[in-house]
Amino acid sequence: MPHIDNDVKLDFKDVLLRPKRSTLKSRSEVDLTRSFSFRNSKQTYTGVPIIAANMDTVGTFEMARVLCKFSLFTAVHKHYSLDQWQEFASQNPDCLEVNYICLDVANGYSEHFVEFVKDVRKRFPQHTIMAGNVVTGEMVEELILSGADIIKVGIGPGSVCTTRKKTGVGYPQLSAVMECADAAHGLKGHIISDGGCSCPGDVAKAFGAGADFVMLGGMLAGHSESGGELIERDGKKYKLFYGMSSEMAMKKYSGGVAEYRASEGKTVEVPFKGDVEHTIRDILGGIRSTCTYVGAAKLKELSRRTTFIRVTQQVNPIFSDVS
Ligand code: 5GP
């Protein structure tokens, strides 16, 4: 008989962080840099652990150039040519991190994928391997024990993802992150909360829930540095943003949607937001402020100082922002 798990699973929108007494005087005292030592590659990392998603509209070279100034990471999308890579590398040697491999599939649960991770680990013993996506602890453990260092967590929360609609499969992101972080940390592995952040507060909640890294797509879309066509209509500017398994992306890169599969992503128009630098400052400022509210002097302390409270409404919807 089908089984129903009656435990309540929550999303970012279902909780708020409870403020705590703190000795911090100003948000400028907060350190957002983290250092990690990876379980299998034995490599180390130091930076602000926010990653631009490996989507062709977000993980661009232009994005990488700006994000690296803030010590953020960009998972560059896979559709650049070797020539384009060579040009970027020669012009931006300081932005390059080439000892990371990102193994990204929509469904990280297949046996075949686990074998693939093992094989890549064998061939690249010293590279840091990111693998996903999954949403449950047992699969996080299996991928780490198969050689992955950082597990991407998230099935269905993405802003241009239609997986939940098309397949009915998914897991509320906040609970997925809490459960997967616990499983990964038990083995000295790490996780990325991938998808579902719609504002700086969500990024703070993901870190509070135990994410080591947070990956962003939609929040970084629509900027000068983002890919996607710029559209002007009635004096307003928009940029096209689409899922990597949307019909738009599949037409662009694989000649269309294969007959046996459905697209699991959509295409949207994002109001043009100007330079991404402004958005990055906004996100980092928000997280620094979160840390001061809960008394965390470092991002590392945020999850230890996190108590989530369940809410039925998180913001007052009466006015819309015109700024
Ligand atoms: P966002 O930050 O926009 O909410 O989520 C970004 C994440 O959505 C990406 O990192 C990736 O994991 C996921 N994603 C990107 N394109 C697609 C797609 O076409 N379908 C699905 N199911 N997920 C996608």
Q: pLDDT 10s digit of each residue in the chain, 323 long?
A: 999 999 999 999 999 999 999 888 888 889 999 999 999 999 999 999 999 999 999 999 999 999 999 999 999 999 999 999 999 999 999 898 889 999 999 999 999 999 999 999 999 999 999 999 999 999 999 999 999 999 999 999 999 999 999 999 999 999 999 999 999 999 999 999 999 999 999 999 999 999 999 999 999 999 999 999 999 999 999 999 999 999 999 999 988 777 777 789 999 999 999 999 999 999 999 999 999 999 999 999 999 999 999 999 999 999 988 87
Q: Residue 232: what are its φ and ψ, rounded to 5°?
A: -120, 130
- Residue 249, SS3? helix
Torsion 63-68-70-71 (CA) sign: positive
Q: Nearest-CA neighbor of 160 among 231, 89, 237, 56?
A: 56
Contact between 193 and 173 (Cβ < 8 Å):
yes
**From ligand 1's centre to the CA of 267, what distance in Å?**
11
Whether 163 is in the pocket of ligand 1, judged by its Cβ within 6 Å, is yes
Q: Nearest-CA neighbor of 214 among 185, 189, 193?
A: 193
To test the pocket of ligand 1, the residue of 76, 79, 161 to mutate (highest count of ligand atoms within 8 Å of its CB) is 161
Q: Are strands 308-310 and 15-17 parallel, antiparallel or unpaired?
A: antiparallel
Angle (nearest 5°) at CA 281 between 278 and 283: 110
Alpha helices in 38-172 (DSSP H): 61-69, 82-91, 111-123, 137-145, 163-167
- Rg from Cα positions in the chain: 19
Alpha helices in 209-259 (DSSP H): 247-254
Q: Nearest-CA neighbor of 279 among 58, 94, 95?
A: 58
Nearest CA to ligand 1 atom 22: 161
CA atoms within 13 A on the CB side of 212: 25
**From ligand 1's centre to the CA of 275, what distance in Å?**
22
